[in-house]
Amino acid sequence: MHPAYSVILFTTASGAGYGLLFWMALAETFGVLPGGRALSLAALTFSLALITLGLLASTLHLGRPERAIGALSQWRTSWLSREGVAAVATYVPAGLLGLSWLIYLHNDLFHLVAALAAAGAAITVYCTGMIYGSLRTIRQWNTPLVPLFYLAAAASTGALLFGLIYSLFGYSTPLLEFLLLCLVAVSGAVKLTYWRQCDADKGQYTAEMATGLGAWGKVRPLDPPHTMPNFVMREMGYQVGRKHAQKLRRLVVLFLFAGPMLALALSALTGAGVFFWYLLAFLMTVVGIVTERWLFFAEAEHVSMLYYGAERA
């Protein structure tokens, strides 16, 4: 599948934003969010900015962005529509949470609001994962591991951002770093399992099934229907990245998982320069997550390519 840069930016930026929102709101729900109101407000604004940036980027790949509001209507069947509804709805408790910090309005009700914001963030990311996970036409996507990894990636990139911001203001404990390390390890384990599953599945559909002509023997393309690639081939038959896939996967393992884990471990163990360890971990994560998302698209194979010479899909 063709990796659209706007979609990569959207899923990674808003994923991290929702992750940050989730951890802050969760901490607030249990009344353990460190720092003062100003810091909370600043961090929340940052998370909403990331989310909004991502959502705006996602409208860039639409042919008719001015009609985007219509995408909120079909939540009964469409995961894309559900994602839109969840994203818009999450602004409400997130905004109220900000308001409560701004005007120092605080009572038990706001624990509930915080819980709603955390739930909204998680649901939105799950919907994003399901847009891909529900497509049976792409076997690399049609697995529960896809929404699971979207959740794990948002949780770990958001948590790193949380650690980075709060460590800048001196709030950090080795315990948090250790928990974060575990979170990154979990998302790494999900991704490795996912790759193993993808590599084992060579595809259950064949060119013979696609054409219904298996009784005559092997089906081979003779003349293409058009002299140059059409939309279907460009969008569904993207192959540029496949030959570098192994190299890029190693880069993801290094930058998204191993590197940040090492930085977090060193931070927890030495207890010195915590912010810089976080910054290092975060910068590596940015490179890692963008590469991971690019690969997620580039490695995905679409069933329609059976008509264009693919033997299995």
Partner 1 sequence: MTTLPQTTEKKLGLVIDLDICVGCQACATSCKEWNTGGYSAPLSDHDPYGGDPSGAWLNRIHSYELGEGAAGRTVHFPRSCLHCEEPACVTVCPTGASYKREEDGIVLVNPDTCIGCKLCSWACPYGAREYDYDDGVMKKCTLCVDRIYNETLEEEDRVPACVRACPTGARAFGDLGDPDSEVSKNVAAREGFNLLEEFGYKPTNKYLPPRMKTSAHVSPEPARKSAPVSAGNGSMVEKLFAWADQKLSR
Q: Which amino acid is at 136?
A: R
Specify the DSSP class assigned to residue 138. B
Q: Furthest-apart CA pair in the chain: how many Å?
A: 76
CB-nearer residue toward partner 1: 67 or 243 = 67
The set of residues, in sequence order, having a beta carbon less than 8 Å from that of 62 and lying 6+ positions away, is 68
* Least gap, CB of 134 to partner 1 (angstroms): 7
Does position 77 bind partner 1 by CB under 8 A?
Answer: yes
Q: Are 24 and 40 in contact (CB under 8 A)?
A: yes
Q: Are 9 and 294 in contact (CB under 8 A)?
A: no
Does position 78 bind partner 1 by CB under 8 A?
Answer: yes
Cβ atoms within 10 A of the Cβ of 231, count?
8
Among 232, 248, 265, 287, binds partner 1 (CB under 8 A): 232
Among 62, 99, 102, 182, binds partner 1 (CB under 8 A): 62
Does position 209 bind partner 1 by CB under 8 A?
Answer: yes
Distances (CA, A) of 116 to 86, 106, 137, 189, 280: 11, 16, 34, 29, 32
Distance CA 163, CA 278 (A): 7
Does position 143 bind partner 1 by CB under 8 A?
Answer: no
Distance CA 200, CA 206 (A): 16
Q: Are 22 and 135 in contact (CB under 8 A)?
A: no
Question: Quick one: which segment of 34-42, 43-51, 96-104, 134-142 binds partner 1 (CB under 8 A)?
Answer: 134-142
CB-nearer residue toward partner 1: 7 or 289 = 7
Interface characters, 1-30, with partner 1 (x: CB under 8 A): x-----------------------------
Q: Closest by alpha carbon to 286, among 52, 7, 87, 9?
A: 9
Question: Quick one: which segment of 37-45, 62-70, 162-170, 275-283 binds partner 1 (CB under 8 A)?
Answer: 62-70
Does position 224 bind partner 1 by CB under 8 A?
Answer: yes
Among 45, 197, 211, 246, binds partner 1 (CB under 8 A): 211
Q: Which residue reads 């991502």 in tokens?
A: 54
Q: Are 277 and 261 in contact (CB under 8 A)?
A: no
Among 103, 107, 175, 226, binds partner 1 (CB under 8 A): 226
Q: Are 303 and 211 in contact (CB under 8 A)?
A: no
Does position 228 bind partner 1 by CB under 8 A?
Answer: yes
Interface characters, 34-53, with partner 1 (x: CB under 8 A): --------------------
| Count of residues of this chain found to bind partner 1 when the rule CB under 8 A is applied | 60
Among 213, 269, 273, 276, binds partner 1 (CB under 8 A): 213
* Least gap, CB of 302 to partner 1 (angstroms): 7
Residue 138 main-chain phi, psi, to 5 deg: -130, 105
Among 41, 42, 71, 283, binds partner 1 (CB under 8 A): 71
Give the binding site for partner 1 (CB under 8 A): 1, 61-65, 67-68, 70-74, 76-81, 84, 131, 134-138, 204-205, 209-213, 215-232, 235-236, 302-308
